[in-house]
């Protein structure tokens, strides 16, 4: 999805201190055939840039939640939220940039038997064992997931898919 390399290699760290040009938004939208196009259309048109996007149903029927990591480019950081708020489909936006966050990403990978032991030590769980490969899952903070993927790469990845982050503010 990104046209240029993300800011920090394979491990896309969520900015905890607002040092880079990334904003993190949790956006509740009305479900509809055009909603995602309109959201991404605004991002493209205003010169912002999607670093990651996670979409799933919200707890309210007819509404979904998007977690967006956006590079705000030459605009002020706040413009991303403000421009998205102009969309009628957008019901609510929480700007999570710079907040203390729970952030989880999920990796599902097929690995060769030789690699398995070290990955299980890191906390991977087996989903399915086959003759030549084992399918595992791992979830964690972006940095941990990045390290996990790096380790996979060292062993030669058979196949890997990685989600975007699912994020919530860290409050007691």
Partner 1 sequence: MVLEALEREGVEYIFGYPGGANLPIYQHLPEHPKLKHILVRHEQGAAHMADGYARACGKPGVVFATSGPGALNLVTGLCTAYMDSVPMIAITGQVNSTQVGRDAFQESDVIGATSSVTKHSYLVTKIDQLPRVIHEAFHIATTGRPGPVLIDICKDVQQADAERVTPERLQIPGYKLNGHVDLGHARQAARALAEAERPVILAGHGVLLSHAEAQLQELAEAAASPVGTTLLGIGAFPVKHPLSLHMTGFMGTGWNLKAVQDADLLMMVGMRVDDRVTARLAGFAPKVKTFIHIDIDGSEMGKNVRPHIELVADAKQALEAMLPHIDHLDAGRSTWLNQIDAWREEHPLRYKHSNGRLQPQDVLIEMYRRAHSRAIVVADVGQNQIWAALWWNYDRPGLFINSGGSGTMGFALPAALGAKFARPELPVWCVAGEGGFVMTAQELSVAVEHQLDVKIVLLNNFSLGMVRQFQDDFYGGVRSQVDLTHMPDFVKLAEAYGLPALRVEKFEDIAPAFDAAERTKGPFLIDFRIDPEANVYPIVPLGKSLNEFWEAPENA
Q: Would you say 88 or 128 has its CB closer to partner 1?
A: 88
Q: Exposed e or buried b for every residue in 118-147, given b needs 16+ CB within 10 A?
A: ebeeeebeeeeeeeebbebebbbbbebbbe
**CA 158 to mean position of chain CA atoms:** 22
Does the protein bind partner 1 through residue 31 (CB under 8 A)?
A: no
Candidates 34, 150, 156, 170: give the one binding partner 1 (CB under 8 A). 34
Does the protein bind partner 1 through residue 30 (CB under 8 A)?
A: yes
Does the protein bind partner 1 through residue 33 (CB under 8 A)?
A: yes
Per-residue interface string for the shown chain with partner 1, residues 55-84, x marking contact by CB under 8 A: --------------------xx-xx--xx-
Q: Closest separation between CB of residue 1 and partner 1, Å?
A: 19
Of 65-73, 87-95, 98-106, 158-166, which segment contacts partner 1 by CB under 8 A?
Answer: 87-95
Place of tokens 């800011």: 7
Going by their DSSP bridges, the two strands 101-111 and 134-140 should be labelled as antiparallel
User: How distant, in Å, are the alpha carbons of 30, 87, 171 from that of 35?
Assistant: 7, 9, 30
| Size of the residue set binding partner 1 (CB under 8 A) | 21
Question: What is the spatial distance between Cα 26 and Cα 28, in angstroms, rounded to a whole number?
Answer: 7
The residue ranges that bind partner 1 (CB under 8 A) are 29-30, 33-34, 37-38, 41, 45, 75-76, 78-79, 82-83, 85-91
């Amino acid at each position: 999805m990104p046209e240029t390399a993300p800011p920090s290699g394979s491990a896309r760290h969520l900015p905890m201190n607002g040092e880079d040009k990334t904003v993190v938004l949790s956006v509740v939208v009305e479900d509809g055939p055009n909603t995602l196009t309109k959201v991404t259309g605004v991002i493209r048109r205003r010169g912002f840039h999607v670093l990651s996007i996670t979409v799933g149903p919200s707890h309210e029927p007819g509404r979904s939640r998007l977690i967006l990591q956006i590079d705000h480019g030459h605009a002020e950081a706040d413009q991303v939220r403000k421009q998205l708020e102009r969309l009628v489909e957008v019901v609510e936006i929480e700007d999570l940039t710079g907040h203390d966050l729970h952030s989880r990403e999920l990796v599902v990978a097929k690995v060769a038997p030789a690699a398995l032991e070290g990955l299980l030590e890191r906390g991977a769980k087996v989903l399915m064992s086959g003759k030549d490969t084992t399918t595992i899952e791992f979830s964690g903070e972006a940095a941990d997931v990045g390290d996990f993927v790096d380790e996979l790469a060292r062993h030669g990845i058979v196949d890997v898919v990685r989600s975007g982050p699912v994020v919530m503010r860290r409050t007691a």
